[in-house]
Amino acid sequence: MKKLILLLMIITLTIISCSNNKSGTNFDTSSYFDYSNSDDQNTGGIKMIPIETPKGKYNVYTKRMGNNPKMRVLLLHGGPGGTHEQFGNFDGYLPNEEIEYIYYDQLDSYYSDKPNDSSLWTTEYFVEEVEQVRKALNLNKDNFYLLGQSWGGILAMEYALKYQDNLKGLIISNMMASAPAYTKYADDVLGPQMDPDVYKEIKEIEAKKDFKNPRYTALLMNHYYTEHVVRMPVGKWPKSINLLFEHLNPNIYIFMQGHSEFGMTGNASLKNWDVSARIKEIKVPTLIIGAKYDTMDPKHMEWMAKEVQNGRSLITNGSHFSQFDDPKTYFDGLIKFIRGVDSGEFK
C-alpha cells in the first residue's frame, strides 16, 4: 500500500511539473528576443522608415534589437555620414540587461537612401528626421532614451533642446557643446602632445589644404587616431570600426565636419556650432560620457553634466570610441544610468 501511495505521489508531481513547463525546459524563457507577431519579424527587426524632406520622400534604415517597452535606446551615429556600425559591440552588453536598442543610419549614410543633396545637411533637418523616426517607432517619454555619439551627440543635444518632452533619458557620448572649443582643444592640447615633427607636418599639409594627400591620412591614422579615436594599433581595430570607415560618406562628412577628427577644418558647416549657453535648458535626465584620451576635452564634458539640470558625468579611460577601448567603464555606466532612470533612482 505504501508503495502505491508513493507511486501516485511521484506521478502527481510529474504531472504538475509538466503542466508548469510545457516547453520541456527547466528555465523561464524571456520575451526579449521574441519577434513573433511583430511587423518586423520577417526582416529580423529591420525597418526602412519613410522620411518626408523638403526635397521629397526617402527611406532610412533602422534595426530593432530586442524588446523592452520601458527601455528603448535610439542610437545616433557620428560622422556626419558614419553608420550604426560604430555601435557594433553594443550586442555584447545590452541584451544581457534586456535593454532594447535601435540601430539607425541617418539620411545619406550607407544603409539609408542617399539623395546627396547638401541643402539637407543641416542640424535643423536632421532633428526633424529623428523626430519622424521616433514617431514611426512609437518611442515616447515613457520609454525613449536617445544616445548620440560624436556628431550624433550634436544631434542629440539639438533634438533635446527642441523635443525633450518626448524623452525619458538623454545620453551625450564623446561630444562637447561647442565646436570651436573642440577645435581649440585639438590645437592647444592634443596637437602639441604629438611628436613635434609629425605635428608640424600635419599643420603644414592643412595650411596647404592638401587634404587628399595620402600622407595626411597616414599621419592622422597612425599618430592621432590610434591615440584619441581608438586606442589600438590600426591593424587591431574591431571589424565594426573598420566597416564604419569603409562605409563613411565622405561628401557629407567633409561638408559638415571637415577632413578629419583633428578639429573642424576649412569651411565645415559645423565649424561655429555652439550650444554651450543653452544646454542649461535641458531638464531631462542626462548622462554625459567623456574619455581621458578623447578628441573631446573631458573637463568640458564634466562641466556639461553640471550645466544641464539633471546630469551625471562618466569619464572612461578610453578615447573617442571608448565603448571599444574601455568597454567595462562605458557599459557599466550606461546601463546603470538607463536602469536608474527607469526605476526612478536616478537623482
Helix (H) or strand (E) holding 275: none
Active site residues: 150, 294, 320
Give SS3 for 156: helix
Instruction: Assess contact for 244 and 86: CB atoms under 8 A.
Output: yes
Which residues, in sequence order, are CB contacts of 127 under 8 Å at separation 6+?
A: 155, 158, 159, 162, 163
Give SS3 for 338: helix
- Please give the full DSSP string across 221-242, using - where no structure is assigned: IIIIIHHHT-SS-GGG--HHHH
At CB < 8 A and 24+ separation, what contacts does 68-71 make? 68/32, 68/98, 68/99, 68/100, 68/143, 69/143, 70/142, 70/143, 70/342, 71/98, 71/99, 71/100, 71/143, 71/145, 71/338, 71/339, 71/342
Cell 565594426 sits on residue: 240
Residue 28 and residue 38: Cα distance in Å, rounded?
21
Nearest-CA neighbor of 294 among 275, 265, 315? 315
Dihedral of the CA atoms 188, 191, 194, 195 (nearest 10)?
-100
CA atoms within 13 A of residue 203's CA, in its CB half-sphere = 13
Task: Tell me the β-bridge partners of 57.
Answer: 52
Which residues, in sequence order, are CB contacts of 209 under 8 Å at separation 6+?
A: 266
In 3-state terms, the chain is what percent helix, strand and coil (to 5)?
45, 15, 40
Residue 176 and residue 157: Cα distance in Å, rounded?
10
β-strand 56-65 against 100-105: which pairing, if any?
antiparallel
